[in-house]
């Protein structure tokens, strides 16, 4: 038993070494990825449920690794977050997204009022530099502040609500809109919305995917919409994959929606194709 235990330990330790090694390697590769042109943004269209109009797009980071092909953001964003690389990648994302949005406004009739929505990680928020970065990028690109939306996850603001609320207030004073992403998953409860100043909430995909078959998820979604509206907060549903989900969300008064049923994330050229 002793021997088995020992080899077992060696096995796990080797597997762990490999995992650590992979992470370190990924971090090194990610470091120069912008400069080598491996990172880009995809845009997923966002529609208004009332009239079906295209109103904006969410910017989603893509990494095309020269050997490994495309790597999921859920994997490399985590590495960027933990290594601190997000503090250089984040501002780049902001800049590219705002530049692209300005082009939609100036080049396309149908692009005149579109907003662009940018994901910001907890670490970027906590660094405290975000409000200044946002102000700078708006000034440099000329994008109207109201056309930039910042998406923060619930977890970024939970825990340290006083600090987070102050940062959000500073952020909103630049004129940008702040959205709470993955809403409903953090168990923060709806009462949270009264204390944290946001313009919108994104109902998490896990609720949206079940609105047709789980009465609890439909009830919760309906309650989020009603509560948010009573506080003057806009509601968007993400992960709409079926016509029936779209229909029921629209019937319940949800404001905006995005998802594979309405539009996949596409590269910037393809997105411009939607506007032409
Ligand atoms: P998220 O912010 O919740 O983004 C939505 C994710 O859902 C995206 O995955 C999108 O491609 C996917 N999606 C959209 N519609 C549907 C649908 O109908 N069904 C399903 N099953 N999925 C759908 P993606 O692009 O892989 O991004 C994953 C996560 O990585 C994002 O989740 C976000 O947290 C993070 N992320 C992406 N880009 C950035 C970025 O520029 N900065 C930061 N900090 N995080 C980012
Ligand atoms: Ca998001
Ligand atoms: Ca989300
Ligand atoms: Ca469920």
Å from CA of 187 to ligand 2 middle:
18
Atom of ligand 1 nearest to the CA of 261: 18
* Tokens matching residue 29: 């590769």
Q: How many CA atoms lie within 13 A of 113 on its CB side?
A: 5
The pLDDT of residue 42 is 98
121 lines ligand 1 (CB under 6 A): yes
The pLDDT of residue 7 is 60
Atom of ligand 1 nearest to the CA of 77: 45
CB contact burial 257-274 (16+ within 10 A = b; e otherwise): bbbeebbebbebeebbeb
DSSP β-ladder status, 69-71 and 54-65:
antiparallel
The pLDDT of residue 50 is 93
* Tokens matching residue 180: 């709470």
Å from CA of 185 to ligand 1 middle:
15
CA distance 268 to 202: 23
Asked if 98 and 133 touch (Cβ cutoff 8 Å), the reply is no
Alpha-carbon distances of 55 from 61, 80, 142, 218, 275, rounded to whole Å:
20, 30, 19, 25, 11
Q: What is the pTM of this model?
A: 0.94
pLDDT tens digit string along 230-255?
999 999 999 999 999 999 999 999 99
Nearest CA to ligand 1 atom 12: 239
The pLDDT of residue 135 is 96
Q: Pick from 59, 127, 119, 116: which is nearest to 87 by CA?
A: 127
Low pLDDT (below 50) residues in the chain: 1-2
ipTM, 2 decimals? 0.98
Å from CA of 218 to ligand 4 middle:
9
CA distance 240 to 245: 6
Å from CA of 152 to ligand 3 middle:
9
The pLDDT of residue 163 is 83
Provide the H-helix boundaries in the chain. Answer: 2-31, 73-83, 86-107, 122-126, 130-141, 154-157, 161-173, 192-195, 205-208, 215-230, 243-251, 268-275
Atom of ligand 1 nearest to the CA of 120: 44
């Amino acid at each position: 038993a002793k021997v088995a235990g020992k080899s077992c330990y060696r096995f796990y330790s080797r597997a762990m070494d490999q995992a650590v090694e992979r992470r370190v390697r990924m971090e090194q590769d990610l470091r120069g990825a912008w400069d080598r042109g491996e990172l880009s943004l995809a845009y997923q269209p966002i529609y208004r449920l009332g009239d079906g109009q295209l109103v904006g797009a969410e910017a989603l980071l893509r990494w095309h690794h020269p050997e490994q092909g495309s790597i999921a953001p859920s994997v490399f964003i985590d590495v960027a977050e933990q290594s601190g690389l997000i503090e250089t990648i984040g501002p780049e994302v902001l800049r590219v997204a705002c530049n692209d949005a300005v082009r939609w406004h100036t080049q396309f009739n149908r692009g005149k009022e579109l907003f662009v929505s940018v994901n910001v990680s907890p670490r970027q928020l906590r660094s405290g530099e975000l409000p200044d970065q946002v102000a700078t990028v708006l000034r440099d690109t000329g994008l109207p502040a109201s056309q930039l939306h910042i998406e923060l996850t619930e977890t970024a603001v939970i825990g340290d609500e006083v600090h987070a609320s102050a940062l959000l207030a500073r952020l909103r004073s630049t004129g940008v809109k702040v959205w709470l992403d993955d809403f409903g998953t953090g168990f923060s409860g709806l009462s949270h919305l009264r204390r944290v100043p946001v313009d919108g909430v994104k109902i998490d995909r896990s609720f949206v995917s079940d609105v047709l078959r789980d009465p609890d998820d439909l009830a919760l979604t309906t309650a989020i919409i009603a509560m948010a509206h009573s506080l003057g907060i806009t509601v968007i549903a993400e992960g709409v994959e079926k016509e029936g989900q779209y229909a029921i969300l629209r019937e319940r008064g949800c404001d905006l929606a995005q998802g594979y049923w309405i539009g996949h994330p596409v590269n910037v050229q393809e997105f411009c194709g939607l506007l032409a």
